[in-house]
Structure 1
Amino acid sequence: MDERMRVVLAGADVDAVVDLGCDLADAGRQEDALVCFERAVELGGDWVWGNVGNTLLELDRPLEAAEAYRRAAAAGETDAWVHLGHLLESLGDLDGAAGAFAAAGESGLPEGFVELAHLRHDRGDLPGADAALTRAGEDPQAFALRACWEWEATLDPQLEPRLRAGAAVSGAARAALAALLLLTRRAGQAQQQLELGAKLGQRECWLPLGNLLAESDIDAAEAAYTAGIAAGDAYCHHNLALLLLERGNRQRAEFHLAAGAAAGDDLARRALRDLPRD
């Protein structure tokens, strides 16, 4: 690969440089990947700014990544607005994130309005969240999210058809469907839905699956929480920690509470604070 890098970087084929950068990134060589992507930009591939942003983020250089995403968006890569929005949200710049998501939507990407709806909903701006979903039009994610929020507000079993329809595109909708099935005493069907969602990569399904399994199979519950953490659901740290405490494994429990607290989970933070000290 080093020889390939020497040859490709000496040329002027943008696609070849980008392909090499992607291969280097897949191999964990992020610094070398960045060299390739920046070279592709120099050769006129402004659309490659998105790759530059992704790589800078992998290298823990978020402010530079944000600028790279802005340049990618200016070059017409509308999904860069979504990446920028998520990055700014993680940095605590919620107004900037809202602006980026709105820009994505206005550029023709309904996902931007869906993410804007999520952000406004999390901030307690329910009318604003509803308005953002309306702007997403007939987007399936917007349809699923609206059904989820109605379920959270009403626990109305008549939402089952809408949640079933939304489950195909939304882990949140599938998790809500499972909650509805549990409420209407169909635990077996609920578990089947959560297991299916987990297999499909819907990370929202791991936490409720672990909770359901914890009633009968502690080992399976632990595996579910662990898989949820690997999938990016930081809230699984708290529930896994509680299970570990029941098993007497305080050291691992404290580790997971600290990890959950660091990720912003208030339940994990309070549990860590209230953990009895020796």
Structure 2
Amino acid sequence: MDEDIEERLRNMAQLRLDDLLEAGCELAEASRLADAESCFRQAMRLGSADGAFNLGNCLAEQERWTEAVDAYDVAIAGGVADARLNLGIVLHELGDLAGEIRAYQQAEAGGDSGGPLGMAFALREQGDREAALAAAQRSAASGNQTAAAVAACWQWCTSHDPSLEPDLRAGAALFPSARADLGDLLLTTGRIEEGRQVLEAGMKLGEVESMLPLGNLYADVLHDDAAAVAAYRAGAALGDAHSHHNLAVLLEQNGDLAGAEHHYRRAIEGGDTLAIRALRELLEEN
């Protein structure tokens, strides 16, 4: 951080509004959130809706959800349309489903294609998959390419329609599940080598969605246990319970019972209920 920004911080009370916003954004980019917050609060006190919006973002990054809601409300009242979408995200963190949906509806009404996409995820989390898909498709129809990728993924999961391949290809770089589903489609249609390459690309990018299916491909089709273990370990390191489970199965098959027990337990902790029986059988047999 250069000396100029430090000087501006020391004289914050004398800064003009534009300087406060500029300094706050520079500080936020440098992860100096407390200092950025001070700049944005001062800007909000001077009546800046943009200052309130940036303050909300700064507070949300610190997971201070309730304070962020208050800041976004000020921004929305001041005419910052983008704050509605961010408000929905924060209300999700607070578990306020009704408020979240309302915020996304208002964002959609204001022409923000992210509104129906946010609504799609909220509805899907509540189990209303039909309404979720419809919301994602509305977002896609408004030009949101990520929403198009999401809709293609959800359709693939229920239909396994090979005609979705162009949409999954287009969305692979936008939504990690689209890459994983593209890999699945390629494997399903017999293009094993290309499917492997797609899933390996996802793994190299750190996309956990590709790691479990890549491990399964190595273990079940290519019979490369070492590569399968590496893929499962990568997924497990990112908290994927199913990767823990499949890794445990492979370790058990190869005689590493202590390792298998460890990963069965981690799978159970992650919510993989099938791992409970597998662990019990391992302990009873050994």
RMSD of aligned alpha carbons: 3.4
Asked if the contact 1:66–1:88 (Cα under 8 Å) also holds between the matched residues in 2, the reply is: yes
Cα distance in 2 for partners of 1:184, 1:159 equals 12
- Could you tell me how far 1:80 is from its partner in structure 2? 2.3
- Could you tell me how far 1:52 is from its partner in structure 2? 1.3
The structure with the larger Rg is 2
Structure 1: any 5+ residue segments left out of the alignment?
261-265
CA pair 116-207 structure 1, distance change in 2 beyond 3 A: farther
Cα distance in 1 for partners of 2:52, 2:277 equals 43
Q: Please tell me the residue identity of whatever aligns with 1:10.
A: A
Equivalent residue number for residue 189 of structure 1: 194
- The correspondence of residues 171-182 of structure 1 with structure 2, limited to 5 A, is 171-182=176-187
Equivalent residue number for residue 105 of structure 1: 108
- Could you tell me how far 1:190 is from its partner in structure 2? 1.6
Equivalent residue number for residue 53 of structure 1: 56
User: Is 1:221 aligned to residue 248 of structure 2?
Assistant: no
Given the two structures, how large is their TM-score scaled by the length of structure 1? 0.77
Cα distance in 1 for partners of 2:47, 2:133 equals 41
Asked if the contact 1:210–1:225 (Cα under 8 Å) also holds between the matched residues in 2, the reply is: no
CA pair 219-274 structure 1, distance change in 2 beyond 3 A: closer
Q: Residues 213-235 of structure 1, C-alpha deviation per residue, up to 9 Å, x if partnerless?
A: 566315531563267x3xxxx5x
Q: Please tell me the residue identity of whatever aligns with 1:162.
A: D
CA pair 242-104 structure 1, distance change in 2 beyond 3 A: same
Q: Please tell me the residue identity of whatever aligns with 1:243.
A: L
Cα distance in 2 for partners of 1:31, 1:220 equals 40
CA pair 123-39 structure 1, distance change in 2 beyond 3 A: same
Cα distance in 1 for partners of 2:214, 2:51 equals 39
Cα distance in 2 for partners of 1:126, 1:86 equals 19
Using the TM superposition, name which of 212-221 and 34-43 deviates more: 212-221
Equivalent residue number for residue 160 of structure 2: 155
User: Is 1:87 aligned to residue 99 of structure 2?
Assistant: no
Q: Please tell me the residue identity of whatever aligns with 2:201.
A: L
Q: Residues 199-245 of structure 1, C-alpha deviation per residue, up to 9 Å, x if partnerless?
A: 66766444544554566315531563267x3xxxx5x2552465368
Q: Residues 221-271 of structure 1, C-alpha deviation per residue, up to 9 Å, x if partnerless?
A: 1563267x3xxxx5x25524653683534567756764x4xxxxx32x775
CA pair 8-147 structure 1, distance change in 2 beyond 3 A: same
Q: Please tell me the residue identity of whatever aligns with 1:164.
A: R
Asked if the contact 1:238–1:257 (Cα under 8 Å) also holds between the matched residues in 2, the reply is: no
CA pair 91-180 structure 1, distance change in 2 beyond 3 A: same
Cα distance in 2 for partners of 1:61, 1:92 equals 14
Name which of 138, 141, 146 aligns with 1:141.
146
Asked if the contact 1:181–1:189 (Cα under 8 Å) also holds between the matched residues in 2, the reply is: yes
Equivalent residue number for residue 70 of structure 1: 73
- Could you tell me how far 1:74 is from its partner in structure 2? 3.0
Q: Please tell me the residue identity of whatever aligns with 1:65.
A: A
- The correspondence of residues 116-131 of structure 1 with structure 2, limited to 5 A, is 116-131=119-134
Cα distance in 2 for partners of 1:90, 1:19 equals 28
Asked if the contact 2:232–2:246 (Cα under 8 Å) also holds between the matched residues in 1, the reply is: no
Asked if the contact 2:212–2:242 (Cα under 8 Å) also holds between the matched residues in 1, the reply is: no
Cα distance in 2 for partners of 1:14, 1:272 equals 59
- Could you tell me how far 1:146 is from its partner in structure 2? 2.6
Cα distance in 2 for partners of 1:177, 1:48 equals 42
User: After TM superposition, what 4+ stretches of structure 1 lie above 6 angstroms from structure 2?
Assistant: none
- Identity among equivalent pairs (%): 39
Cα distance in 1 for partners of 2:278, 2:7 equals 56
Using the TM superposition, name which of 98-107 and 64-73 deviates more: 64-73
Asked if the contact 1:163–1:176 (Cα under 8 Å) also holds between the matched residues in 2, the reply is: yes
- Could you tell me how far 1:20 is from its partner in structure 2? 2.8
